[in-house]
Chains A and B, each alone.
Chain A
Amino acid sequence: MDKSSYLKKISAWDSDAARHVLSRALYGYSRTDIEFALSKSLDDFIDNFLLKDLPEPTSPTYNGAEWVSLENNSTNSPNYSNYRYSLIWWWETLMLQQGYSLREKMVWFYANHFVTEYNTVQVPQYYYLSNKLFRQYAFGNLIELTKKVTIDPAMLVYLNGKDNKNTAPNENYSRELMELFTLGIGNYSEEDIKQAAKALTGWRVNSSTLSPYFTSSRWDSGLKTILGKTGNWNADDVVNIIFSEKAVAASEYLCRKLYKEFAYYQPNEEYVKQLAELMRANNFNLKPVLSTMLKSQYFHSVDIRGAKIKSPIEFLLSLVRFFNLTYDNDLLNQIRTKSRELQQEILNPPDVRGWEGQRKWMNTTVYPTRNKFTDSLVSGIKINGKTYKVDVLTFARTFPSAIPPNENAVQFIEEVTLVLIQFPLSQARKDFLLASLLDGTAVQNWSTYATGASTRLEKFFKALMRLPEFQLS
């Protein structure tokens, strides 16, 4: 593909394009969702649905009780693990119920960019506040968001901003702000980190109001030279200086992160450069950048489609959406623990870089664990006396080729894999799937109404979800 076409809009808004966008923008989708997307124009669907600003959701509760604005103190802390669970279930629910919106994917993107670890911070109220902040800025301005994150309570605790004071600066946040949140390594010096650490001093968290506050006596008011600029800088100034003095580096670094999240883990630097130019032209407002990316020819190229290894959360939640499973907190909790087993513990990334994703999602234990889980969902998972199970017959009959008198096993494979699998399947794979679907019956006799149809379908769906192709999005 010619580089000059990278950012150009794709010409055909067809089923393959729609599946690709849905698989990267949502946590699972159905046949109806593909049809809905195609009933709109590309511009309409991306700009007026995926990137539409939505009202803020109501805050989470635990057993019906409010907790997000409770003081952070020892009276409340015994309930924190319950609050944390309720926050996670609430978040999972938002991801499942978001409709045609990119917002929740952006919340994840930010949570894995401006990383904090619950195990270190241990205050669920702060996590609610970060989550809310990320949602507010889902398609917003990255400079403003970076300023807010700098004094976000969870961040002030996690990277020791609250301990950073004029008498003995703590460099933890200063370093990661430049290395991981804005510029990337190589665009600043050790001295810049030390100087910026001084400018960032003075902020603390009020545990009653759950808000950050500034104590001028803890702030280093002297002259600081950051990225070549000298002044008596404060925290906002640091962010402004980074984005103005290093606009190219910052825009390219952030577009590279977006690319890794939405396209592929090894960035195409030329594409990143072009997208970064657009980001700078829009003064770091994300909406036009995201819009262009999701419509762009390179994003839709054969290299990118089906090339992303699903994160555990994408993998697990999309199962619920694919099969339209009925869920409640018990299943959401099962997903929480399973996700942890698959190396993505919600609210607890491994370190300040966050999850690296893609190939790091896979190892010799995780891979078979994913297979076992899809197996068990087809067979039925029992939690607290209730069974959560894919209703294979009902699901199969949502496809036209399973409806008498038009039953057609070969066509059925096509229709099902079009929804469940992004990767282009080889003929050998399709033959394999057909063989496991038929399981000995003659192809012309295949019917979801035949004796034993349900058992055969269960085997088929297990085999399908065990394919390595199913791990790709």
Chain B
Amino acid sequence: MKRRDFLKNVGMITGAGAVSLSIGGIPMKAFAKPFMNIQSTNGKILILIQLKGGNDGINTVIPLDQYSAYANYRPTIKILDTSVVKLTDATGLHPALQQFQTLYSEGKLTLVQNVGYASPNRSHFRATDIWLSASDSNQYLYDGWVARYLLKTFPTFPGTPPTHPMGIQLISVPSGLFDSNDGGLAVNFNDPNAFYTLVNGLTADNDPSPATIAGDELKFLKEVAALSMQYAGVIKEKADKGNPTSTYPTSRLGPQLKIVADLILGGLETPVYLTQLDGFDTHSNQLTTQQTLFQNLADSVVAFQRDIEKAGLADKVVIMTFSEFGRRVKENASVGTDHGAALPLFVIGKSVQGGIIGANANLSSLDGNGDIKFAYDYRQIYTSILKDHFGMTTVEVKDILLKDFTTLPILKPTTDIHDYDSVPTEFSLAQNYPNPFNPATTIQYTIPARVKEPVPSSFRDETANVTLKVYDVLGNEIATLVDQSQHAGKYQVRFDGSRLASGTYIYTLRTNSYTQTKKMLLVK
């Protein structure tokens, strides 16, 4: 998918006569094509909280089992063992995260210890890019991992944009998380109503841009305008409907999560939100800074979680914190810490398994730099979220993260695939959507559980050898989309026909006991 057709499909035609339309002035039907429904997702929502600056993990999760070693490293900035909020005898939280203990005891918080990657980078910017793009330490990727997930979930973008934004960021500078070769995929704003008012009167057009570097920049500007116009209306509508009742902190993360709650309660189906809490680069004065930030974090997250629970939407939503790196174990001379490596992160929500994954950081086995070694690759967390929250298949996740990573028991297995009520009872191969298509389409199929009643605890081990292949009308094999053993569940795969000629193609699902074939039409 090389050129973007997004602008064309916004339907804001500005010919020589130049009619400019505003989203405030036109109903959706004025748009050239019907938008794809957002429901190509499984309805799940991920809220990312970026702790910007590199959060000190050792003062977040205090290793009580090595307290004297910890205290030796940190004579002035240690958290007193008497004030640590205990999760277990060995592991405790910073006192300002008291409310996280509550979530933990309710089984709604999973703590993952020592998250990082090989050859950690200690530059804020490079390390942030690594986390956002899901790359190896020495691999440079332009697009964000969430962008890659979104393009897989919305295969018809940019041709047919979804009715709700694919991503929303409540931060001012667009994040690399949503950068894709098809442009930025997220909308950002601070306030839904102000955003709506602001966009009213904005113009967009599909006047072609020249094929120069400068022309690319012009095209980019037009796309930003188009994104604003397209989504300001639905964002306001949903924000008007939502009615969060919790009390949120009035600064930093609080207002951001309140807006997210507002939109989710109002029915917005955007699958990914990015929020940010800045100020964790505590080279000096760490104690008060981290205290303030954690208080804000805990208050905001708990207010949000309660709103989502009251609205009966808690099954849908998961929160994940992340930060570009942890900090040096040994404190520096300025009551602070320098840049480090691995650190803990939190995944919060009703659908998490709860508990602690992994042992405390081992203070007697630091790396050559005096930093904490990683036990879990950060992409294992992403893998777990993509599979167990968003219900993506192994093949899809590999396309997104570019490698296979094992999942961690962070989340309860996703409803779509593993909840026995909705475990498919028979094989099926659905008609691809959209059809006809250009250049990509999505194919869904189901693999049934072999034993239906009663549900065996081990049904996840029931697998079938599955292949899904595409052929041309002469029977030549064009592509193998799936070739592996799969658990019972619903699956979808994307087929990209960019490099193929227009025409009819055939796709066939085969398992040990089942074969079905359907046709699809590529029209360029």
Seen from chain A, the residues whose Cβ lies within 8 Å of a Cβ on chain B are: 159-160, 163-165, 167-172, 175, 179, 185, 190, 264, 266, 302-309, 343, 350-353, 356, 358-360, 362-369, 371-372, 375, 423-424, 426, 428-429, 431-432, 435-436, 466, 468-469, 471-472
Is the Cβ of B332 less than 8 Å from the Cβ of A168? yes
- Residues on A with beta carbons closer than 8 Å to the beta carbon of B53: 351
- Residues on B with beta carbons closer than 8 Å to the beta carbon of A169: 332-333
**Cβ 8 A contact of A368, one of B18, B126, B198, B208:** B198
Residue of B nearest to A307 (CB): B214
B120-137 to A contact mask, C-beta < 8 Å, 1/0: 011111100000000000
Is the Cβ of A364 less than 8 Å from the Cβ of B227? yes
- Residues on B with beta carbons closer than 8 Å to the beta carbon of A164: 333-334
Docked pose: A364 CA to B18 CA in angstroms: 22
Is the Cβ of A302 less than 8 Å from the Cβ of B212? yes
- Residues on A with beta carbons closer than 8 Å to the beta carbon of B473: none
Which among B124, B184, B332 has the greatest number of chain A C-beta atoms within 10 A? B332
B179-207 to A contact mask, C-beta < 8 Å, 1/0: 00000100111100001001101110001
B2-44 to A contact mask, C-beta < 8 Å, 1/0: 0000000000001111100000000000000000000000000
* B476 contacts A by Cβ under 8 Å: no
Residue of A nearest to B53 (CB): A351
**Cβ 8 A contact of B214, one of A302, A362, A431, A436:** A302
Closest chain-B Cβ to A123's Cβ sits at a distance in Å of 16
**Cβ 8 A contact of A372, one of B184, B188, B198, B218:** B198
Total A-B residue pairs with C-beta atoms closer than 8 Å?
157
Q: Enumerate 27 A-B pairs (CB-CB under 8 Å) in ascending A order.
A: A170-B284, A172-B283, A185-B121, A303-B213, A307-B217, A343-B172, A352-B124, A356-B173, A359-B217, A359-B220, A362-B224, A363-B173, A364-B227, A364-B232, A367-B202, A367-B224, A368-B228, A371-B202, A375-B201, A428-B16, A431-B18, A432-B16, A432-B17, A466-B203, A471-B221, A472-B214, A472-B221
* B338 contacts A by Cβ under 8 Å: yes
Instruction: From known contacts A371-B202, A423-B214, A472-B218, infer whether A167 and B333 are also in contact, taking CB-CB under 8 Å.
Output: yes
Docked pose: A436 CA to B327 CA in angstroms: 58
Closest chain-B Cβ to A163's Cβ sits at a distance in Å of 3
Instruction: From known contacts A302-B212, A468-B221, infer whether A175 and B333 are also in contact, taking CB-CB under 8 Å.
Output: no
Docked pose: A429 CA to B215 CA in angstroms: 14
- Residues on B with beta carbons closer than 8 Å to the beta carbon of A359: 174, 184, 217, 220
- Residues on A with beta carbons closer than 8 Å to the beta carbon of B433: none
> Which residues from 282 to 297 on chain B have a C-beta closer than 8 Å to any C-beta of chain A?
283-284
* B494 contacts A by Cβ under 8 Å: no
Is the Cβ of A426 less than 8 Å from the Cβ of B17? no
Is the Cβ of A435 less than 8 Å from the Cβ of B198? no
- Residues on A with beta carbons closer than 8 Å to the beta carbon of B231: 364
- Residues on A with beta carbons closer than 8 Å to the beta carbon of B338: 170-172, 175
Closest chain-B Cβ to A444's Cβ sits at a distance in Å of 19
- Residues on B with beta carbons closer than 8 Å to the beta carbon of A423: 214, 218
* B513 contacts A by Cβ under 8 Å: no
Residue of A nearest to B217 (CB): A307
Is the Cβ of A264 less than 8 Å from the Cβ of B125? no
Docked pose: A302 CA to B126 CA in angstroms: 32
9 tightest A-B contacts by CB? Answer: A163-B334, A168-B333, A432-B18, A307-B214, A468-B221, A364-B228, A303-B213, A306-B214, A172-B283
Is the Cβ of A367 less than 8 Å from the Cβ of B228? yes
Closest chain-B Cβ to A377's Cβ sits at a distance in Å of 15
* B210 contacts A by Cβ under 8 Å: yes
Docked pose: A170 CA to B330 CA in angstroms: 11
- Residues on B with beta carbons closer than 8 Å to the beta carbon of A266: 213
B309-350 to A contact mask, C-beta < 8 Å, 1/0: 000000000000000000000011110101100000000000
Closest chain-B Cβ to A386's Cβ sits at a distance in Å of 25
Docked pose: A352 CA to B124 CA in angstroms: 9
Excluding A185-B121, A435-B16, 17 further A-B contacts by CB distance (< 8 Å) are A168-B333, A170-B332, A172-B338, A175-B122, A175-B338, A359-B220, A360-B174, A364-B232, A367-B202, A367-B224, A367-B228, A423-B214, A428-B15, A429-B207, A432-B17, A472-B214, A472-B221
**Cβ 8 A contact of A303, one of B18, B207, B212, B369:** B212
Residue of B nearest to A372 (CB): B198
Docked pose: A89 CA to B25 CA in angstroms: 40
* B238 contacts A by Cβ under 8 Å: no
Is the Cβ of B123 less than 8 Å from the Cβ of A469? no
Is the Cβ of B188 less than 8 Å from the Cβ of A367? no
- Residues on A with beta carbons closer than 8 Å to the beta carbon of B190: 365
- Residues on B with beta carbons closer than 8 Å to the beta carbon of A160: 283-284, 334, 336
**Cβ 8 A contact of A365, one of B14, B189, B214, B339:** B189
Residue of B nearest to A201 (CB): B333
Instruction: From known contacts A306-B214, A352-B124, A428-B207, infer whether A468 and B222 are also in contact, taking CB-CB under 8 Å.
Output: yes
Docked pose: A113 CA to B206 CA in angstroms: 37
- Residues on A with beta carbons closer than 8 Å to the beta carbon of B122: 175, 190
Docked pose: A160 CA to B214 CA in angstroms: 40
Docked pose: A423 CA to B209 CA in angstroms: 11
* B225 contacts A by Cβ under 8 Å: yes
Q: Is the contact region of chain B dominated by helix, strand, or loop, or is it mixed?
A: loop
Is the Cβ of B228 less than 8 Å from the Cβ of A365? yes
Docked pose: A108 CA to B188 CA in angstroms: 27
**Cβ 8 A contact of B16, one of A175, A351, A431:** A431
Is the Cβ of B214 less than 8 Å from the Cβ of A179? no
- Residues on B with beta carbons closer than 8 Å to the beta carbon of A428: 14-16, 18, 207
Is the Cβ of B339 less than 8 Å from the Cβ of A304? no
Closest chain-A Cβ to B164's Cβ sits at a distance in Å of 14
Is the Cβ of A436 less than 8 Å from the Cβ of B213? no
Is the Cβ of A368 less than 8 Å from the Cβ of B174? no
- Residues on B with beta carbons closer than 8 Å to the beta carbon of A350: 173
Closest chain-A Cβ to B134's Cβ sits at a distance in Å of 19
Which among B52, B208, B220 has the greatest number of chain A C-beta atoms within 10 A? B220
Docked pose: A371 CA to B224 CA in angstroms: 13
- Residues on B with beta carbons closer than 8 Å to the beta carbon of A185: 121, 123, 126
Residue of A nearest to B368 (CB): A190
Is the Cβ of A171 less than 8 Å from the Cβ of B332? yes
Docked pose: A164 CA to B123 CA in angstroms: 19
Docked pose: A350 CA to B174 CA in angstroms: 12
Docked pose: A159 CA to B339 CA in angstroms: 13
Is the Cβ of B332 less than 8 Å from the Cβ of A367? no
Is the Cβ of A468 less than 8 Å from the Cβ of B218? yes
- Residues on A with beta carbons closer than 8 Å to the beta carbon of B232: 364
Is the Cβ of A264 less than 8 Å from the Cβ of B213? yes
Is the Cβ of B221 less than 8 Å from the Cβ of A363? no
- Residues on B with beta carbons closer than 8 Å to the beta carbon of A368: 198-199, 201-202, 225, 228
Closest chain-B Cβ to A174's Cβ sits at a distance in Å of 9
Docked pose: A365 CA to B196 CA in angstroms: 10
Is the Cβ of A469 less than 8 Å from the Cβ of B333? no
Residue of A nearest to B171 (CB): A363
- Residues on B with beta carbons closer than 8 Å to the beta carbon of A469: 218
Docked pose: A359 CA to B53 CA in angstroms: 22
Residue of A nearest to B189 (CB): A365
- Residues on A with beta carbons closer than 8 Å to the beta carbon of B124: 351-353
- Residues on A with beta carbons closer than 8 Å to the beta carbon of B16: 428, 431-432, 435
Residue of A nearest to B216 (CB): A307
Docked pose: A309 CA to B224 CA in angstroms: 13
Which among A308, A426, A432 has the greatest number of chain B C-beta atoms within 10 A? A432
Is the Cβ of B207 less than 8 Å from the Cβ of A364? no
Is the Cβ of A364 less than 8 Å from the Cβ of B189? yes
Is the Cβ of B213 less than 8 Å from the Cβ of A365? no
**Cβ 8 A contact of B334, one of A170, A358, A360:** A170
Which among B126, B188, B217, B281 has the greatest number of chain A C-beta atoms within 10 A? B217
Docked pose: A471 CA to B283 CA in angstroms: 38
- Residues on A with beta carbons closer than 8 Å to the beta carbon of B208: 426
- Residues on A with beta carbons closer than 8 Å to the beta carbon of B225: 367-368, 468
Closest chain-B Cβ to A23's Cβ sits at a distance in Å of 12
- Residues on B with beta carbons closer than 8 Å to the beta carbon of A436: 18
Closest chain-B Cβ to A376's Cβ sits at a distance in Å of 12
Docked pose: A341 CA to B222 CA in angstroms: 21
Docked pose: A50 CA to B198 CA in angstroms: 39
